[in-house]
Amino acid sequence: MDSEKIYEDTVTESEEVTREPGSTAERVMLASIGVVASACDTAEERFDRFVNRGQQARDDLQSRSEDVRRQNWRARNRARDYFRGAMDMVLDTFNVPSRTDVDTINVKLNILTRKLDDLQIQPSDRAAGTPASPPVAPEPPVMRAPSAPEDLAT
């Protein structure tokens, strides 16, 4: 029975040692829990700071890229206008008509074609609304071989 009593005394003493707030083992355990809790708090705070900083950096980069795009757009427009002006000068030098010149000529040609079509309709047919028959081209002159001169004395 002595061994049982010694065992019980040892168990109760070890329980008292671990329950006692001033014991070294408990203090080490609480300190390690505190370190983990502090690390989690610090990590969470730092994570939030990293997220905020990332948002700021993204916004800055977006605004910078928009500025660069606007500047490039202006530069592209200036370059396009410059090259168009230079090309127009070259085409004018060689008297090459521009697209607008060709379009204007096409419009005028269509108007003239319609007027010619209207003139081909005969006045009597205009009232009836029937188109006139196409004009007949005159026959080409017939070339005859020169005849032998007849005796003028007879």
pLDDT by residue (tens digit) across 63-103? 999 999 988 988 889 999 999 899 888 888 888 888 888 99
**Domain residue ranges in the chain:** 7-124
- As a whole-number percent, the residues of the chain with pLDDT over 70 amount to 64
Quote the tokens at residue 5: 């009593």
The predicted pLDDT at position 121 comes to 79
Amino acid at 96: V
Between the two ends of the chain, the Cα-to-Cα distance in Å is: 189
Q: Quick one: pLDDT band at residue 108, thresholds 50, 70, 90? A: very high
Tokens 């521009």, located at residue? 98
pLDDT digits (tens, 9 = 90+) for 14-27: 555 445 556 888 88
Q: List Cα–Cα distances, 26 to 20, 22, 36, 42, 59, in angstroms.
A: 7, 7, 15, 24, 49
Percent of the chain with pLDDT over 90: 29
- 93: enclosing H helix or E strand: helix 24-93
pLDDT band for position 137 (50/70/90)? low
Paired tokens of 42: 């610090």
Check pLDDT > 90 for residue 104.
yes
Q: What pTM was computed for the model?
A: 0.35
Comparing C-alpha atoms, which of 2, 26, 28, 29 is closest to residue 16? 26
8 Å CB contact between 91 and 98:
yes
